[in-house]
Chain A
């Protein structure tokens, strides 16, 4: 609607109660102000067969919205860069006040933050050769501008280190790639969050986890938590994704605190399986981040590949879980959409490879056996209606629906604890259309940064 306003055509939005902030954010993100001609109608009115009396009772709101409405502000002020000054009798009091103030301004997330002082930010900026004022882009939905300096500020708040900056910068570049659909990810009612998978030597160098507990907290591999949380603060503080106004995710989910940032276990890849980054067109050994999004995740129990029979059982378990929780994959189904991320530990991947399963063969098997049965999809009126036109080239009437247009669209990443026993399925969430990738550019002083990290932490952990 903001695009239409900018063409000189007045608009009026019929808005669901509680969504006025989201609509206004959308206008701001399109270069207008945090304002829109709209009226909030009761949520019940939007349900099937609802009572539309509120429309009749408020027809003047619609007329006024097109004839009388005026934005509350006429122009945009220049917002000079501001610094926040906190006073306290000692450092503890300063820190406590800082956290209170940041929550008051909706800049925190409920967890403690560290102060992004000039000194700290300057230190973090040694992790990149980009000048601090370099613009990364506008972060949806409200479209404020992120710069290299802004990323360093967010990373400071999460206790980051300079060697994390290249990965965070690449993640934001992938985040703003239009193919990802970040605007929809930010505002959707689904509880979706970014998942960043890193390939290349940088993973081990910065202590990013690819093994046990790689999707969660880990004191030995702290990079993922800090980088992922910095991304969340960018999404919130610069993009305006505040629950209930900028982001309408009904639940949000615990993963949103730090999103998920981990590395592929490239040492554990079977010799004939390409890494994720190679599949996406990058040369072997490149430092790359691939970004997708997850809405729900499932642990795949009892996953092994000791014999052919056991391997097939394992793949069937993956397929059943993928098929059973298709969510609204079909809503955005297109020739290139990727329905989620399959995680396999090296124990299973190597077992499959030893048995003669190439990555392509695994993908084909999963693709074929994760199709949603006709009886299921036909009985799901909403997703059937949303997906039936998208799926037409790929499934005839009465046939099971594949989760992707092509087996090669399935994403398999080798990661997790070294042994077999479990796998993981991360189903994509509505909003993002498909994954995106960005090269991680290291600064000239990379060696010095790693040397300092080794002084602080000791040698990088194995694996």
Chain B
């Protein structure tokens, strides 16, 4: 039986650094939720209808929740794909972010 040994083509091995996702909130009461949209000018998806509906539904469950709408942030695929987007969210005092679509 012949043996052929070949390289794995998927690149250099990864580091052992453990990535950290943000901890989840205990609940949404009293929290500030920010909205980020990769769509703008009416394209990509129905953010101008979806976000208000989400606000309405969440407000019903959590009356003291507040929202910073997507209009307060850059919008568009390239506009939100910037290193500074995290800083913007922090500066606005967001406790959590809902984004779309497939952003």
Q: Is A59 an interface residue (CB 8 A)?
A: yes
A29-63 interface code vs B (CB 8 A; 1 in, 0 out): 00111010100000001111110100110010011
Assuming the contacts A67-B27, A83-B8, asked whether A9 and B97 have C-beta atoms less than 8 A apart, the reply is yes
Q: Is the CB of B99 within 8 A of A48?
A: no
- A452 interface residue, CB < 8 Å from B? no
Cβ-based interface call for A107 (8 A): yes
Decide: B4 and A98 in contact? CB cutoff 8 A: yes
Which of A15, A90, A181 counts the most chain B CB atoms within 10 A? A15
Q: Which of A114-122, A207-215, A279-287, A393-401 lies on the face that meets chain B?
A: A114-122
Interface size class of B (residues with CB under 8 A): 35 or more
Bound: A10/B90 CA distance, A: 11
Consensus secondary structure, chain A interface: mixed
Which of B13, B28, B41 is in CB contact (< 8 Å) with A386? Answer: B41
Contact status B101-A145, CB under 8 Å: no
Please determine whether A67 and B54 come into contact, CB atoms closer than 8 angstroms. Answer: no
Contact check, A7 vs B43: say whether CB atoms are below 8 A apart: no
Q: In the docked arrangement, what's the CA distance between A59 and B33, Å?
A: 14
B98's nearest neighbour on chain A, judged by CB, is A12
Taking A16-B101, A52-B53 as contacts, is the C-beta distance between A117 and B4 under 8 angstroms? yes
Measured between alpha carbons, how far is A95 from B27 in the docked complex, in Å? Answer: 56
User: Given A70-B24, A98-B4, A184-B78, are A3 and B9 neighbors across the interface (CB < 8 Å)?
Assistant: no
Q: Are A238 and B3 in contact, CB atoms less than 8 angstroms apart?
A: no
A6 touches B9 (CB 8 A): no
Q: Within 8 Å CB of A90, what residues of B?
A: 2
A14 to chain B, nearest CB (A): 3
Partner of A15, one of B36, B83, B101: B101
Inside 8 A of B22's CB, which chain A residues have their CB? 4-11
Q: Which residues of A contact B21 (CB under 8 A)?
A: 5, 10, 32-33, 35, 37, 71
Once the chains are docked, how many angstroms separate the CA of A433 from the CA of B78?
Answer: 10
Given known A-B contacts A8-B22, A67-B26, A121-B7, A183 and B81 have beta carbons under 8 A apart: yes
Q: Which residues of A contact B46 (CB under 8 A)?
A: 45-50, 52
Contact mask for chain A residues 407-439; partner B; CB cutoff 8 A; 1 contact, 0 none: 000000000000000000000000001000000
Contact flag A76-B45 (CB < 8 Å), given A15-B100, A116-B7, A144-B10? no
- For A62, what are the chain B residues with a Cβ–Cβ distance below 8 Å? 54, 58, 98
Known: A15-B101, A62-B54, A139-B11. A115 touches B26 (CB 8 A): no
Residues 133-191 (chain A) with a chain B CB within 8 angstroms: 133, 135, 139, 144-147, 149-150, 153-154, 156-157, 181, 183-184
Determine if A78 and B99 form an interchain contact, defined as CB atoms under 8 angstroms apart. Answer: no
Once the chains bind, are A66 and B15 in contact (CB under 8 Å)? no
Residue of B nearest to A33 (CB): B19
Using Cβ atoms and an 8 Å threshold, which residues of chain B touch A16? 45, 101-102
Q: Are B99 and A11 in contact (CB under 8 A)?
A: yes
Flag whether A264 is at the interface (Cβ < 8 A): no
- Could you say which residues of chain B place their CB within 8 Å of the CB of A75? 16, 18-19
Top 8 A-B pairs, shortest CB-CB distance? A14-B100, A7-B86, A385-B41, A75-B18, A19-B102, A238-B11, A144-B11, A145-B12
Name A's B-contacting residues (CB within 8 A).
1, 3-16, 19, 22-23, 31-33, 35, 37, 45-50, 52, 55-56, 59, 62-63, 66-71, 74-91, 93-95, 98, 102, 107, 115-118, 121, 133, 135, 139, 144-147, 149-150, 153-154, 156-157, 181, 183-184, 233, 237-238, 332, 382, 385-386, 388, 433
Q: B residues engaging A (CB < 8 A)?
A: 1-28, 33, 36, 40-46, 49-50, 53-54, 57-58, 61, 77-78, 81, 83, 85-87, 89-90, 94-103
Write 22 A-B pairs (CB below 8 A) sorted by A numbering. A4-B22, A9-B86, A11-B98, A13-B102, A19-B102, A52-B50, A55-B50, A75-B18, A76-B15, A76-B18, A78-B15, A80-B13, A85-B3, A118-B5, A118-B7, A144-B10, A153-B9, A181-B78, A184-B77, A184-B81, A238-B11, A382-B43
